[in-house]
Amino acid sequence: MAKIESAFFDIGTLDRLASRDNWLSRLDPRAKVVTTLLFVVMVVSSGKYEVSALLPFFLFPFTLIAVADLPLDYLLKKLLIAAPFAFFVGVFNPFFDPAPQLQLNGWAISGGWLSFASIMLRFTLTVSAALILIATTSFTGVCLALEKLGAPRVFVLQLLFLYRYLFVLIDEGTRLHRAQTLRSFNGKGRGLKVLGSLLGQLLLRTLDRAQRIHMAMLCRGFDGEVRMTRRLCIGVREVVFVGGWGATFLLFRSYNLPQTLGLLVERLMR
């Protein structure tokens, strides 16, 4: 439990990073959201066996990390926490797809291994891009941008509240768990049945709280729209940012640069 707790509470670190002042954090959140979205689409839509073509895309996360001076080890740790999901998505590919796809110095590499590597690469690229987005924009900024970009209001509201009350929920869950642990002995009182009523309890408390929050919102004139004081503006910097990266991604996506480079070197060597 302690581990889960600390992992979750660490989310605050992303927000702290986002509150630092630098060129990137001053950029309009919409520009960053759109660019990240473009990036994710370009990476995800690459071919199933692409490995080398994905490598140039690392330019994007690395540039942002350098500009915003983000702690690399922290991001890597976050990546590792999420890695098992991607790992298990792809880990059986080598068994299902044993047909050789690539000859490397006499070694045959099967399509399964290639697609597995491709999945892991894509995972690293997209998740790090998302982490960087939040670390430079803050979760709230991302939500705000989504709303301004036309995402359904209910959806944005849900995201905002998820983020705000995640900590309260974890707190509540931890208290329940602690109360249970303190009164269970020799493995008694830890079964599924107890867990069930524990979760039921948590759900009821959450519903109660939701009602109270709604009440508090109504008391302050909530009418379905979330308004915030942040002023957003799209300027030259934003256009250049989105346009520049968009063009770069398109280039990476249309030409396999490492392959082209390799062929070029090969021709020069000959």
Chain contacts with another protein (rule: CB under 8 A): 12, 15, 19, 138-140, 143, 160-161, 163-165, 167-168, 209, 212-213, 215-223, 227-229, 231
3 state DSSP class of 109: strand
Handedness of CA 251, 242, 147, 168 (dihedral sign): positive
Q: What is the closest distance, in whole angstroms, from the C-beta atom of residue 176 to another protein in the complex?
A: 16
Residue closer to another protein, measured from CB, 97 or 209: 209
Q: Taking the complex as a whole, how short is the minimal distance between the CB of residue 28 and another protein, in angstroms?
A: 17
Q: Which is nearer to another protein, 59 or 168 (CB)?
A: 168
- Looking at beta carbons only, is 91 or 159 nearer to another protein? 159
- Comparing CB distances to another protein, the nearer of 83 and 213 is 213
Shortest CB 164 distance to another protein, Å? 6
Going by C-alpha positions, the residue among 48, 74, 72 that lies closest to residue 61 is 72
Which among 210, 198, 208, 204 has a CA at the least distance from the CA of 174? 198
Q: Give the shortest CB-216-to-another protein separation in angstroms.
A: 5
Between residues 81 and 228, which has the closer beta carbon with respect to another protein?
A: 228
Nearer to another protein, 14 or 43 (CB): 14
Please state, as a whole number, how many other Cβ atoms lie within 10 Å of the Cβ of residue 75. 19
HEC profile for 38-57? HHHHHHHCCCCCCCHHHHHH
CB of 201 to another protein, least distance (A): 17
Q: Of the two residues 74 and 222, which places its CB atom closer to another protein in the complex?
A: 222
What's the rounded Cα separation, in Å, for the pair 245 and 95? 37
Q: How far is the CB of 54 from another protein (least distance, A)?
A: 34
Task: Compute the least distance from the CB of residue 205 to another protein, in Å.
Answer: 12
Listed in sequence order, the residues at least 6 apart from 228 whose beta carbon sits closer than 8 Å to its beta carbon are: 140, 144
Task: Report in angstroms how near the CB of residue 179 gets to another protein at its nearest.
Answer: 18
Instruction: Give the CB-side neighbour count of residue 61, counting CA atoms within 13 A.
Output: 26
Instruction: With residue 104 as reference, give the H or E element that holds it.
Output: strand 100-104
- Give the whole-angstrom CA distance, residue 162 versus residue 266: 53
Virtual torsion, Cα 160, 164, 167, 173, nearest 10 deg: -70
Residue nearer to another protein on the CB measure, 16 or 77: 16
CB neighbour burial string for 109-129, b if at least 16 within 10 angstroms, e if fewer: bbbbbbbbbbbbbbbbbbbbb
DSSP string, 70-93: --HHHHHHHHHHHHHHHHHHHTTH
